[in-house]
C-alpha cells in the first residue's frame, strides 16, 4: 500500500505542476479524438438521416450492420488500416503511417458506426409529422435535414459524446497506426501501457487519473443528454 500511495502522490504532483510531457500526451489524445469525432459526425449525419427517416429496402440490414460494427475490435481496424497505409499498401505513398493523422483515420472508422447508430435511433424516434409538415411548407431537402437535426439535437450530442468516449480510451489502433512516438503520436492510453512496462508507475498513474477524469466527464455528459 505504501508503494501505491507514493505513486499516487507523485502522480498528483505531476498533474498539479502541469508537467510538460503529461500535457503534451493529454493534448495529443484530445486533438486526435476530437478531430476523429468531427469527421465521423460529418460522415454519419447523412447515414443517420437517411436510415432513420426514409423507408427503403435494406434499411433494417443497414441498422443491423451499424449495430455489428459498433463492436469491431480496435486491433482489427488497426490491422486493416495498417495494410492500407504501409509502404506496400495503396495509400503508402501518402506517408500517413505513424503520424497523428493515421490515428485520426483509425479513430474515425471506429467512431463512425457508433455515431451513425445513435443518430439513426434519434431520427427514427422523432415526431413522424416533421417531414410531411416540412414538405407541405415547401422546404428544400437541406432545410428539412437541418430542421430534423435541430429537433434531435440532444440525440446528436449524445452520439458525439458516445463516440468520443469510445475513441479517447482505445489503445489498439492508436498503437498500431501511431507507433507511440514521443511528442508526436503518444496518447494517454498508449503512454500508460508504455510507462507501466517501464516501471514508471507514477507517470502512468498521472496519465491514468487524467484519462479516468475524462472518461467520467464524458459518461456524465452522455447520461445528462440521454435524460434530455
Q: How far is CA 133 from CA 50, 129, 144, 201, in A?
A: 17, 6, 10, 60
Q: What is the DSSP letter of 89?
A: S
Write the pLDDT tens digit of every residue in 10-50: 888 888 888 899 999 999 999 999 999 999 999 998 888 88
At residue 10, the pLDDT reads: 83
Q: Which CATH number fits domain 2-227: 1.10.3720.10, 1.10.357.10, 1.10.1040.10, 3.30.200.20?
A: 1.10.3720.10
Q: What is the mean pLDDT of the chain?
A: 85
- 127 or 211: which carries more pLDDT confidence? 211
- pLDDT band at residue 201 using 50, 70 and 90 as cut-offs: confident
* Structural domain spans, the chain: 2-227
- pLDDT band at residue 63 using 50, 70 and 90 as cut-offs: confident
What is the CA angle 91-78-61, rounded to 5? Answer: 95
At residue 115, the pLDDT reads: 92
Write the pLDDT tens digit of every residue in 84-123: 999 888 998 898 999 999 999 999 999 999 999 988 888 8
Amino acid at each position: 500500500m505504501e508503494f501505491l500511495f507514493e505513486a499516487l502522490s507523485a502522480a498528483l504532483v505531476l498533474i498539479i505542476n502541469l508537467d510538460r510531457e503529461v500535457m503534451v500526451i493529454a493534448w495529443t489524445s484530445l486533438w486526435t479524438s476530437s478531430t476523429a469525432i468531427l469527421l465521423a459526425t460529418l460522415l454519419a449525419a447523412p447515414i443517420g438521416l437517411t436510415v432513420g427517416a426514409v423507408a427503403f429496402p435494406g434499411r433494417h440490414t443497414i441498422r443491423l450492420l451499424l449495430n455489428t460494427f459498433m463492436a469491431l475490435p480496435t486491433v482489427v481496424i488497426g490491422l486493416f488500416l495498417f495494410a492500407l497505409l504501409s509502404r506496400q499498401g495503396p495509400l503508402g505513398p501518402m506517408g500517413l503511417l505513424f503520424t497523428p493523422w493515421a490515428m485520426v483515420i483509425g479513430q474515425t472508422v471506429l467512431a463512425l458506426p457508433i455515431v451513425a447508430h445513435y443518430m439513426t435511433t434519434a431520427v427514427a424516434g422523432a415526431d413522424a409529422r416533421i417531414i410531411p409538415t416540412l414538405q407541405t411548407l415547401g422546404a428544400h431537402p437541406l432545410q428539412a435535414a437541418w430542421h430534423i437535426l435541430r429537433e434531435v439535437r440532444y440525440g446528436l450530442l449524445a452520439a458525439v459524446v458516445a463516440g468520443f468516449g469510445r475513441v479517447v480510451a482505445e489503445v489498439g489502433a492508436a498503437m498500431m497506426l501511431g507507433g507511440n512516438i514521443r511528442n508526436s503520436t503518444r496518447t494517454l492510453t498508449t503512454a500508460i501501457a508504455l510507462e507501466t512496462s517501464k516501471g514508471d508507475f507514477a507517470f502512468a498513474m498521472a496519465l491514468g487519473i487524467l484519462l479516468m477524469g475524462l472518461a467520467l466527464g464524458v459518461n456524465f455528459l452522455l447520461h445528462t443528454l440521454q435524460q434530455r
